[in-house]
Structure 1
Amino acid sequence: MSITDTPVESSSEAPQRFPTPDLRASALAEVTAQVAATAEANDRSGDIPWEGLAIAHRAGLLTATVGQEYGGPDLGPAEVARILIALGEGDPSVALITANSLAVHHGQAVGAHWPLAVYEDLLTRSQAGPAPVNAVRAEPELGAPARGGLPTTTAVADGDHWILNGHKTFATGGEALAYHVVWVLADDGRVGHLIVPGDAVGVRITRTWDHLGLRASNTHDVDYADVRVPIENFHEIPRVGGVYRDPAAVAGLWSFGHPALYIGVARAARQAFVDFATTRVPISLGRPISTTERIQAVAGEIDTQIATAETLLFGALARAQADEPAFGAQLSLIKVAIARAVITAVQTAVAALGNAALTRHHPLERHLRDVLCVRVHPPQEDSALIAAGRRILDIP
């Protein structure tokens, strides 16, 4: 989504219709435990994690960024990071679907580009139960747009409607989405997002998602065949200097939801390591392996990497919110560093436990598969490093 950082003016504040989530550590730990109860089964089946989404809905987590003018709690990026860490520790597929929904609600809170009646429908659905929403952008030939290019998905004006046609890939939330925010090229040359009901005639989900990790995220392909969408549902993404620049190409304050959820995965891996180490008693040793200095050192290394990731995350959010001069240019690098730390944490646990950790019935195997997905979220590592190198070397 195209997100601005300037709140919209509101003439009055609506009565609160969505709960303010309980972000106490004990409350979030309870949500984590409840969501985790079905994570393994959903990973194996690839089904939409409805149970976990329902838990997140009841806790008010799916609507935590709804603006105050719409009756929401309008939580900030640090609070959202805590929510996504807790969900990621329980089930990262639930966390990813939630992260994307929270980004869209935040975008509406600060930009108000949804038609009021359409957004009201989304809010009504969100009161009744989980109503995920996501930006649907990637395409087979182009991939994700963060590296440049224009969509081949088109919107052609037809009276008071657009006619939408195209094929999208990696639409996280897939069959669960109440609304798709579709990246399109309009017939008048504008680039933007078209807000499309998930149940609109002509929208077809193709179950293509057969991935290493986040298997329950329902990140399938979508075909749009002559889908009629009201003309007011289009939101243009402004061009900069006459050129379209994808907003996801550079990390911003509100783009840290994705790395936050993988910190949750690393926390889950740490606990899985502890559970194994404190209960594994080899005959040759006669006591739990947790009593050995080797395992204690490994546990310390895992904790070091998680502490590093958490400090980078919340430190970056604090510095960005304080509007420190020139720090914004480093946000993409911070995302890279967080990704490296959480992957190292999980790989360290897996390497220490060997075959046991790579067995399907052990949770570390799932955590390893899931944490590797942190690398796919834009801006990706090579793009961030090249941009930073050009900046410090003063190369245009």
Structure 2
Amino acid sequence: MSFAKTLDQENELLKVGFLADSFSKRAKQIDESGEFPHQNIRDLIKAGYTTLTLGTEFNGKEISLYELLLYQERLARGCGSTALAIGWHLGIIMDLHEKRPWDKHLFNDIMFEVSKGALLNRAASEPHTGSPTRGGRPQTSAKKEGDKWCINGRKTFTTMAKALDIFLVTASIEGESDIGEFLIRRDIKGVEIKENWDTISMRGTGSHDLVLNNVKVDDKFLVEVKSPQKESNGWLLHIPACYLGIAQAARNYAVQFSKTYSPNSLSGPIMDLPNVQRLIGKMEIELMQARHFLFSVAEKWDNYDNRNEMSAELAAAKYVATNTAVSVVDYAMRIVGSKSLFKDNPLQRYYRDVRAGLHNPPMDDMTISLLAKKALE
């Protein structure tokens, strides 16, 4: 089921599909080694994928949220780690383009770098504060020293750490209640990547720790003082789109397996068995529900004037998509049976990867609480 609405979207999907299919050939090796997929990222930069959300004034395509999810979902069918990693870059570029929170000249300079292939991501999570969506104050500190800031701290879950050119780091400003976001280039003295990403899920995202030891930056690189008021962020839907893409890959594998696997106890393939057809039907309806919900929320975001009213819908779309992904992969493994547990079978990788979606923001408990409070208002 394609959600492409225009010929341009269909053509872009074909290009993304070509990349995704080539990435799928490397996905097993990336998962087993835990290495960051540098070649995949180079291919995306070469194809212009990393500039899709960039403004047209910087030779980007300035795609909509709907289109971002469309392409990210397809990319994730090939390699979930690659899709999730590049999704953070694309989403943050979209966010910056829409809000323009920085000094105009600095913004233009950085976007020009992005147009030439530079990669960026935010570094916000910390060992003792957990996800920034929980409201913890950063222990990373920024101290003013003359016309410079001195920054010290450690950030976790810094996706694409080894490939990033620019880090957007949140830090508590010493002596004040404010939290600042600082632009820090990877080649500045005191910036260190601690390679400690060794999880069972999304092993290729390279989400190592970022360590900052007396990093000095000019005053102009305090790019934003964060507001305590929470805003709705549609771009974060790149996360559930990625996990739905992985679930779709699991569905495709299980359906093809059911057409070709024929044990000698049967006269034909297992697709003729009622219980297998029931599981396939469940996969279809759950994927259909989740995709329609996700894309309808994205379309509303693209066309809605008061986006801050959409926080509940955005959270619910993520909740439905990520939990559906877990469910669909489980159905796929039930169809394939014990063969799905072997290391050379992609289903065991999909199973591990979709579990990570439950821990991406917003978490399930926060979403359920938000929806309950809105219902009780």
Aligned residue type for 1:60 = G
Determine helix, strand or coil for the equivalent of 2:162: helix
Report matched runs for 1:226-305 at 5 Å: 226-239=214-227, 244-245=228-229, 247=231, 252-305=233-286
1:63 match: 51
Determine helix, strand or coil for the equivalent of 2:51: coil
2:194 match: 206
The number of aligned residues is 367
- Aligned residues of 2:153 and 2:213 also touching (Cα < 8 A): yes
1:8 match: none
Aligned residue type for 1:192 = G
Give the C-alpha shift of residue 119 in structure 1.
Answer: 5.0
Determine helix, strand or coil for the equivalent of 1:212: coil
Give the C-alpha shift of residue 58 in structure 1.
Answer: 2.5
Q: Does 1:53 align with 2:41?
A: yes
Q: 2:65 aligns with which of 43, 55, 77?
A: 77
What is the TM-score normalised by the length of structure 1? Answer: 0.86
Report matched runs for 1:127-138 at 5 Å: 127-129=115-117, 131-138=118-125
- Aligned residues of 1:169 and 1:220 also touching (Cα < 8 A): yes
Q: Distance in 2 between matches of 1:122 and 1:350?
A: 45
Give the C-alpha shift of residue 215 in structure 1.
Answer: 0.1
Give the C-alpha shift of residue 233 in structure 1.
Answer: 0.9
Give the C-alpha shift of residue 188 in structure 1.
Answer: 4.8
1:348 match: 331
Determine helix, strand or coil for the equivalent of 1:361: coil
Give the C-alpha shift of residue 152 in structure 1.
Answer: 0.8
Q: What's the Cα RMSD here? A: 2.2
CA-to-aligned-CA distance 1:218-243 (integer Å, 9 cap, x gap) = 0111110011112111133443xxxx
Give the C-alpha shift of residue 362 in structure 1.
Answer: 0.3
Cα 1:117–1:44 change in 2 (3 A) is: farther
Aligned residue type for 1:263 = L
Aligned residue type for 1:319 = K
Determine helix, strand or coil for the equivalent of 2:63: coil
Determine helix, strand or coil for the equivalent of 1:65: coil
Determine helix, strand or coil for the equivalent of 1:176: coil
Structure 2 unaligned regions, length at least 5: 1-7
Q: Distance in 1 between matches of 2:24 and 2:341?
A: 19
- Aligned residues of 1:61 and 1:83 also touching (Cα < 8 A): no
Report matched runs for 1:1-396 at 5 Å: 23-114=11-102, 122-123=110-111, 125-129=113-117, 131-189=118-176, 190-239=178-227, 244-245=228-229, 247=231, 252-323=233-304, 327-394=310-377
- Aligned residues of 2:193 and 2:209 also touching (Cα < 8 A): yes
Cα 1:126–1:390 change in 2 (3 A) is: closer
Cα 1:125–1:331 change in 2 (3 A) is: closer
- Aligned residues of 2:55 and 2:97 also touching (Cα < 8 A): yes
Cα 1:332–1:163 change in 2 (3 A) is: same
Determine helix, strand or coil for the equivalent of 2:352: helix
Give the C-alpha shift of residue 297 in structure 1.
Answer: 2.2
- Aligned residues of 2:141 and 2:174 also touching (Cα < 8 A): yes
Give the C-alpha shift of residue 142 in structure 1.
Answer: 0.7
Cα 1:21–1:108 change in 2 (3 A) is: farther
Give the C-alpha shift of residue 157 in structure 1.
Answer: 1.3
Give the C-alpha shift of residue 272 in structure 1.
Answer: 1.4
Determine helix, strand or coil for the equivalent of 1:208: coil
Q: Distance in 1 between matches of 2:11 and 2:175?
A: 46
When structure 1 is superposed on structure 2, of 318-327 and 296-305 the one drifting more is 318-327
2:3 match: none
CA-to-aligned-CA distance 1:253-273 (integer Å, 9 cap, x gap) = 222111111111011111111
CA-to-aligned-CA distance 1:163-218 (integer Å, 9 cap, x gap) = 11001111111111111100111225221211111222111111111112110000
Give the C-alpha shift of residue 135 in structure 1.
Answer: 0.6
Q: Distance in 2 between matches of 1:24 and 1:99?
A: 16
Cα 1:200–1:120 change in 2 (3 A) is: farther
Determine helix, strand or coil for the equivalent of 2:50: coil
When structure 1 is superposed on structure 2, of 315-324 and 46-55 the one drifting more is 315-324
